[in-house]
Amino acid sequence: MTAAVLFENVSRHFGTVKAVDAVDLEIAAGEFFAMLGPSGSGKTTCLRLMAGFEQPTGGHIEIFGETAEGVPPYRRSVNTVFQDYALFPHLSILDNVAYGLMVKGIGRQERHRAAEDALAMVKLPGYGQRRPGQLSGGQRQRVALARALVNKPKVLLLDEPLGALDLKLREQMQEELKSLQKSLGITFVFVTHDQGEALSMADRIAVFNDGKIQQLGTPEDIYQRPQTRFVADFVGSSNILSSAICARLGVPAAAASLRPEAIAIGTSWAEQLTLPGTVTARSFLGAVNRVSVDCDGEKIIVASPAAMPVPDIGAQVQLAFSRNDLHLMEAA
């Protein structure tokens, strides 16, 4: 089966800055794919390479088996939902949504009917006569989505689509995007710096840093088994245990990652590993208490369920965790 998007050794350099550096990537058709990373990590440039706004300085890109380099954006069957929506301020909502069909020469009546349907799909029926300036951020987001989807793209690209929305709306849109993608069967590629968003929505995630993919895998893979220190730190802020601590635990390794929520305070079973330490700080975060524990000069963060008792600052505690939750890393 042909890949929806294929990157072979793709680079995009701006002068001496390597925005994207020798990236290999294969996105399957019908997949919900996330590109996760901090700003400046190359994820957005990758998206722009797919859309055609940027041309690679090296390597080869295919979209559904067709060579993409040198092809302008208007001759690609991909559509983009822009970060700040990029709605046309001088056109009505209906004409915004119908824009793609209009430039393809589809008659007014037909394209307006299709645009109405697309607006109904994103739950904005009857908003066609308004202007972008009259809508809220969440509504504009939906219009941008309808405007892209009405063209029935083979790949939908979403650039930080939920970045400008408030938390409640973002959670709601996450679910809606996910179910929309399932029902339409279109390949979604979305860029985000929010690891929670990537973990909850994507089938697979590519974690970017410094223009390279650090790790590519399912959300469980990325979260449970980070392969590099960067991934462990960026996705859910894992504890990184040094080789000294690893040696004390009897697991020789250069470094190991340990999730804060995999650690229990005080209680331990026979098979578990334990570490003594001193509580240095604690804060209540609602569902959990975040406790900082000092173990021989290394700070370890514990996410302790709020129902459990919290030790006082300065208390001596035993940290207990399962060997299976400790993920060894090749290099630091």
Partner 1 sequence: MTLAATQTILPNRPRLTGRISDFLWKHPHVLLAVLLGPPILWLGIIYLGSLFALLLQSFFSIDDFSGLINYEFTLATYKQLLSDANFDIIVRTVLMAATVTLFSALIAFPIAYYAARYARGKWKAVFYLGVMLPLWSSYLVKIYAWKLILAKEGILTWAFTKLNLLWLLDGWLSLPVIGGNSLSVSYTGTFLVFVYVWMPFMILPIQAALERVPANLIEASSDLGGTPQQTFRHVLFPLALPGIVAGSIFTFSLTLGDYIIPQIVGSSRLFIGQAVYAQQGTAGNIPLAAAFTVVPIVIMGLYLWMAKRMGAFDAL
If one asks whether residue 332 binds partner 1 (CB under 8 A), the answer comes out as no
Nearer to partner 1, 140 or 259 (CB): 140
Handedness of CA 91, 181, 231, 48 (dihedral sign): negative
If one asks whether residue 104 binds partner 1 (CB under 8 A), the answer comes out as yes
If one asks whether residue 73 binds partner 1 (CB under 8 A), the answer comes out as yes
If one asks whether residue 103 binds partner 1 (CB under 8 A), the answer comes out as yes
CA distance 123 to 235: 32
Q: How far is the CB of 48 from partner 1 (least distance, A)?
A: 9
Listed ranges 146-154, 182-190, 280-288, 313-321: which one lies at the site for partner 1 (CB under 8 A):
146-154
Rg (CA), the chain: 24
Q: How far is the CB of 24 from partner 1 (least distance, A)?
A: 25
Which residues, 6+ apart, have CB-to-CB distance to 18 below 8 Å?
11, 12, 210, 211
Cα angle for residues 144, 42, 100 (degrees, 5° grid):
25
CA distance 198 to 193: 8
For residue 94, how many other CB atoms are within 10 A of its CB? 19
Listed ranges 134-142, 144-152, 191-199, 205-213: which one lies at the site for partner 1 (CB under 8 A):
144-152
How far from 156 is each of 104, 222, 225, CA to CA, in Å?
18, 23, 29
CA distance 114 to 137: 23
Q: How many residues touch partner 1 (CB under 8 A)?
A: 25
Listed ranges 69-77, 201-209, 240-248, 253-261: which one lies at the site for partner 1 (CB under 8 A):
69-77
Q: What is the DSSP string of 251-269?
A: ---SEEEE-GGG-EES---
Listed ranges 27-35, 70-78, 174-182, 237-245: which one lies at the site for partner 1 (CB under 8 A):
70-78
Listed ranges 76-84, 221-229, 250-258, 262-270: which one lies at the site for partner 1 (CB under 8 A):
76-84
Select the residue interacting with partner 1 from 2, 14, 24, 53 (CB under 8 A): 53
CA distance 74 to 314: 63
Q: How far is the CB of 240 from partner 1 (least distance, A)?
A: 38
Nearer to partner 1, 104 or 299 (CB): 104
Select the residue interacting with partner 1 from 15, 39, 74, 307 (CB under 8 A): 74
Q: How far is the CB of 135 from partner 1 (least distance, A)?
A: 16
Strands (DSSP E) contained in 15-147 are 17-27, 32-36, 58-63, 66-67, 78-81
CA distance 145 to 176: 11
CA distance 299 to 25: 36
> What is the footprint of partner 1 within residues 150-209 (CB under 8 A)?
151
Nearer to partner 1, 41 or 80 (CB): 80
> What is the footprint of partner 1 within residues 81-100 (CB under 8 A)?
82, 84, 86-90, 99-100
Binding site for partner 1 (CB under 8 A): 51-53, 72-75, 78-80, 82, 84, 86-90, 99-100, 102-104, 147-148, 151
